Structures are given as C-alpha cells and as structure tokens.
Amino acid sequence: MKSESASPPPSRWAFGWRELIAVVLVILVAIALLVPAVQQSRESARRTQWRNNLKQLGLALHNYHDNFNQLPPGGIFNAEGRPYHEWTSSFQPYLDSFPWYHMVDFHRPWDDPQNIDLFLNWHHWPVFTDPSIGTSLSPDGLQLNPVAANQNIMYRNSSVRFDDIPDTRGTLLLADAYGDWIPVGYPFGWRDVALGLHQSSQGFGNSVREGTHTVLVDGSVRYFSKDTDPKVWAALAGPEELHPAPEQVAKPSEPYKLTVTDYVRHDFDQFNKK
C-alpha cells in the first residue's frame, strides 16, 4: 500500500495577503504619526536658534552702547543727506567680525566700489539668517536681512541712549521684518511699529510663523502672536517724545538695486591663514 506523504507544515514567516496589508497599514500609520513630530522638533530647534541669534544681536547692541553711551544710528548720512552705512555695519566688532569691519571704509558709502565687494562676498552673517527661512539673497547677490530696527529708536543719524527710554522692558528695539527685506548694510534698516503686526510688508511680522520674535531695549527676546492686541503692540513703539521727525525716517520709494559694476576685489582668504 502506497503511503501518502505528509504535507510540510506552514512556515511561521508565511503571511496571507490580509496580514501583509495590515502590516503595511501599521507602518504607514507609524510614519504618518512620526513625520509631523520630527518636523515639529526640527522647527522648534530652528526657532530656538533664531531666538539665540536675536539675543546675540541684542547683546551686541548693548556692548556698543556700553562703549559709546548710545545705540548705533539706524543709518549714517552725510551733510548732503547721502546714505553711508547702516546699524548692521556699525556694531560688527561686537559680533566678532573684526576682519570685515576693519576692511570697510566708513568714509565712503557702503555700496562704493571700495566697499561693495565686502557685502557681496562676505558670508559670515549667520546671525542674520532665520533658520526657518534660510539665507535669502537679493538678485544682485546681497544677503537680505530679516530683522529691522524700531524707527523711533534707531533712525537717520540717531543717537538715542538707554537713559532716554523710560521703559526699556516695554520698548521695541529689533524685530522680524514681515516682508520687503533689504540688504545687510543698506542704510534704511528701520520700520514703523504703527504699521501693526503682520499687517504690512513694510512693517513687522514673520511670514512663516504665527507670531513675531522681538528684541526689547533691555535685551530680552519676546514672542508676540499675530493676534496680539493692537494696543499692546503699538505701545512697544516707545514714548511720543522720542519719535523722530518724518524726514529722519523717510525712505526711498524704490527698492535698492545694485548699480556698481566695477569694484575692488578683497582677499578674504588672508584672514583664514595661520
């Protein structure tokens, strides 16, 4: 009598199609839950870095004030009203940018052929980069600045001291610029708090967040939601007696465009040599 061979037992690794679909669904759900958490964690880290950058800017301005007993002018202009330099250039030594600062000729405008190469090719300004947005450049290759000063504190040839500001904990010094960024060094780096928060491309705000980081005069960094009471935001402008005349905060109607085509090339590598 012919014996029937027993069929082999099923492998413990053999899955039916139902089990396979279930496993795939579990993996997809896990990924769907994990990705937002990772993105949220990364964005939190980027926000923390941006806060640290702003704290660094506030500390540098305080160190400048300690040495000169005033904040840097929002913009330096000559007697004929020609723009020369911005506050971002004036306090570079306090951001550890000594080599760059000592190459700038402050007796010439920032975009003079002797200076413009320093702004076009110097890439040591991560402090002016919001990690959530990244470094932005103008069509000319100039680094754009996502931070602007309060025009009631830093404006054309200003010389405001901390003693002039009654409430340093409640007065805006710097904040995120909502739009229409200008190049680092362009001598018109101020904005009007009265334009509101997240209301005007010429005002303050942040295009990728639901609120705005600010540096107050006392050096602290605070975050204001876009839904902040307009009266609370307006109060950050500072006392009425500090407000400059309209001509001291006037700006060009057209955005900056690089006109220099022939300029001095600086040897940046010399500062990296031992």
Domain ranges of the chain: 45-272
Sequence-distant (6+) residues with CB within 8 A of 45 are: 131
User: What pLDDT is attached to residue 28?
Assistant: 67
Higher pLDDT pick, 187 / 6: 187
User: What pLDDT is attached to residue 1?
Assistant: 47
In the predicted model, what is the mean pLDDT of residues 39-49?
A: 78
In the predicted model, what is the mean pLDDT of residues 139-164?
A: 95
Nearest CA-CA partner of 144 in 132, 133, 152: 133
Nearest CA-CA partner of 144 in 256, 19, 272: 256
- Are 122 and 100 spatial neighbours (Cβ–Cβ below 8 Å)? yes
On the CB side of 51, how many CA atoms lie within 13 Å of its CA? 12
Which residues partner with 172 through β-bridges?
216
Compute how many other C-beta atoms are within 10 angstroms of the C-beta atom of residue 218. Answer: 15
Residue 37 has pLDDT above 70, yes or no: no
In the predicted model, what is the mean pLDDT of residues 72-99?
A: 93
User: What pLDDT is attached to residue 274?
Assistant: 46
pTM assigned to the model: 0.82
Sequence-distant (6+) residues with CB within 8 A of 98 are: 92
What is the overall mean pLDDT for the chain? 87
In the predicted model, what is the mean pLDDT of residues 46-58?
A: 94
User: What pLDDT is attached to residue 255?
Assistant: 84
Residue 25: in which H helix or E strand, if any? helix 17-68
The Cα 207–Cα 73 span in angstroms is: 27
Q: What is the tens place of the pLDDT at every residue in 168-206?
A: 999 999 999 999 999 999 999 999 999 999 999 999 999
The Cα 97–Cα 86 span in angstroms is: 15
Higher pLDDT pick, 106 / 25: 106
- Are 68 and 95 spatial neighbours (Cβ–Cβ below 8 Å)? no
> What pLDDT band is residue 266 in, cutting at 50, 70 and 90?
confident
> What pLDDT band is residue 46 in, cutting at 50, 70 and 90?
confident
Helices (H), 140-251: 230-235
User: What pLDDT is attached to residue 21?
Assistant: 75
User: What pLDDT is attached to residue 92?
Assistant: 92
User: What pLDDT is attached to residue 263?
Assistant: 81
The Cα 212–Cα 259 span in angstroms is: 33
Q: Given phi > 0 = left and psi -120 to 50 = alpha, else beta, which region is 134?
A: left
Distance between alpha carbon 98 and the CA centroid of its chain, in Å? 21
In the predicted model, what is the mean pLDDT of residues 247-257?
A: 92
The Cα 46–Cα 33 span in angstroms is: 21
Q: What is the tens place of the pLDDT at every residue in 59-73?
A: 999 999 999 999 999
Give percent of the chain with pLDDT exceeding 70.
83
